[in-house]
A and B are shown apart, each in its own frame.
Chain A
């Protein structure tokens, strides 16, 4: 009887911890983003037709597709900038489909968005652009300065801190855009064609940042693009930290398997492919083959 009571006490004392662990596990297993049968049409034109997919925590989901296939629409829907006609959108487990502006503002705090051309505020310096979210939240200036410097170091642009956006090259603007998106440590980062119009080495730098976010920072991301070399880099390389804290990019070999990068291809508002990068390359679908090889 006495022992039984003691055992009962042990179980009770473990319960909160168990619940805590199971909550963390549940959170970990919950998709960061989920679309369920999402429809959208503008007048007679169907943009998305019952699209369903999910992005797991720490996963990078590539969305490929030609112009007008609905890639950027998906990103705008995750941010709540566009509402679906039907279906449900979940972000961090919350159904945001019918959220009002106030609730969407709360959700957007978890999301970092990298725009095609950077979309930096022309009237603000690099420092103020990166600090934008923190200034809006009225954070202490010392803390803001520390965070901005940290983020600019992450994108290797500490020297540009006092420059104006007009003084930056295309690649630098996008890297500042990435730094701005990462302030506040968002758990989800959305990339909308971040390498469009960039030279190959600069595009490679942007891809390395995405790899670093995925493998070192454990960020879930959606990478919208129609450039196949982005997929090549991100689905075949991974980032590791050595003992000195230096980041190395290594090719996926026999010892590792990039389970956290998936590809999805859209055509006329439908998902025509979903799987790994290697499976996409081996696809026999004529449209996919033409998309990959250009003919």
Chain B
């Protein structure tokens, strides 16, 4: 099978998985306890690393940008720069990459282990759809929690930036806050919330697909876990570009 055929085949399989997971929402039984448990594991479980990522990203943005801004006498705009780059780009992308590493690998490894130990077959033999029971709750949990995690990362990024600006460069905190507010427009907020929804679907779908298509025993679990993280991360970066362009055009046309 050449690369193009393999790509098309996987695209078809992932689209099919997405469709079936959506159908899982429409019919009973719905697995709400599973959804809550996944939201806890994905959302609450990832909060720590996401907050730390956001905090230090905000800090390093100020650290790198402040001397240049000071050179041009524009240090009062430091907050605006952090807000724009964090809320529009870095917050959603870095959060998604961190979650892809932590949650994507865990989903893929868990489902992959279930495949090689025949637990998925057992589930089907016992009359349960693995897509409905395992895939749908994970995708929905990611879709709900990733925007929330992104907001947390943005918030802590702005706080991190503020602390660095104030403590290292002596910028007045009120000046920083006012600059942040200038840089936070409705367009940035909408962009920053819409992107993680797509990223959540990307992580969930790719990780579940890679996990469920595991072959080759325990070695196969390792391979599919690596593939899940790599494919999720690359697709997040690619999707970010196209989403940014699309949202930019939409925002321009609706004059946000």
**Segment from B89-97, B121-129, B157-165 that makes contact with A:** B121-129
Given A119-B117, A136-B29, A138-B29, also A113-B129 (CB < 8 A)? no
With A105-B129, A138-B29 known as contacts, the answer to whether A81 contacts B124 (CB < 8 A) is: yes
Q: Evaluate whether A109 and B122 lie within 8 angstroms (CB atoms) in the complex, with A119-B117, A136-B29, A138-B29 already known.
A: no
Q: Does A115 contact B (CB under 8 A)?
A: yes
Instruction: Check: B118 CB closer than 8 A to any chain A CB.
Output: yes
Within 8 A of A (CB), among B218-246: none
* CB neighbours of A81 from chain B (8 A): 121, 124-125
Q: With the chains together, A76 CA to B125 CA distance in Å? A: 9
Q: Is B167 an interface residue, CB under 8 A from the partner?
A: no
Judge if B249 is at the interface, Cβ distance under 8 Å.
Answer: no
CA separation between A108 and B123, bound complex, in Å?
Answer: 11
Against A, the Cβ 8 Å flags (1 = close, 0 = not) of B60-80 are 000000000000000000000
A113-B127 in contact given A119-B117, A138-B29 (Cβ < 8 Å): no
Contact assessment for B127 and A133 in the assembled complex, using a CB-CB cutoff below 8 Å: yes
Rounded to whole Å, the gap between the CB of B197 and the closest CB of chain A is 28
- A192: nearest residue on chain B (CB-CB)? B118
Contact between chains at A115 and B29 (CB < 8 Å): no
Chain A residues contacting B29 (CB-CB under 8 Å) are 136, 138
How far apart are the CA atoms of A76 and B121 in the complex, in Å?
A: 9
Given A121-B122, A132-B128, 15 extra CB contacts under 8 A:
A76-B121, A81-B125, A101-B129, A108-B124, A108-B126, A108-B127, A113-B122, A113-B125, A113-B126, A119-B121, A119-B122, A122-B117, A122-B119, A133-B127, A138-B29
By beta carbon, the residue of chain A nearest B128 is: A136
B114-139, CB < 8 A from A: 117-119, 121-129
Whose C-beta in chain B lies nearest to the C-beta of A121? B119
The answer, yes or no, to whether A117 is at the interface (CB within 8 Å) is: yes
Smallest CB–CB gap between B18 and chain A, Å? Answer: 16
Nearest-CB residue, chain B, relative to A111: B125
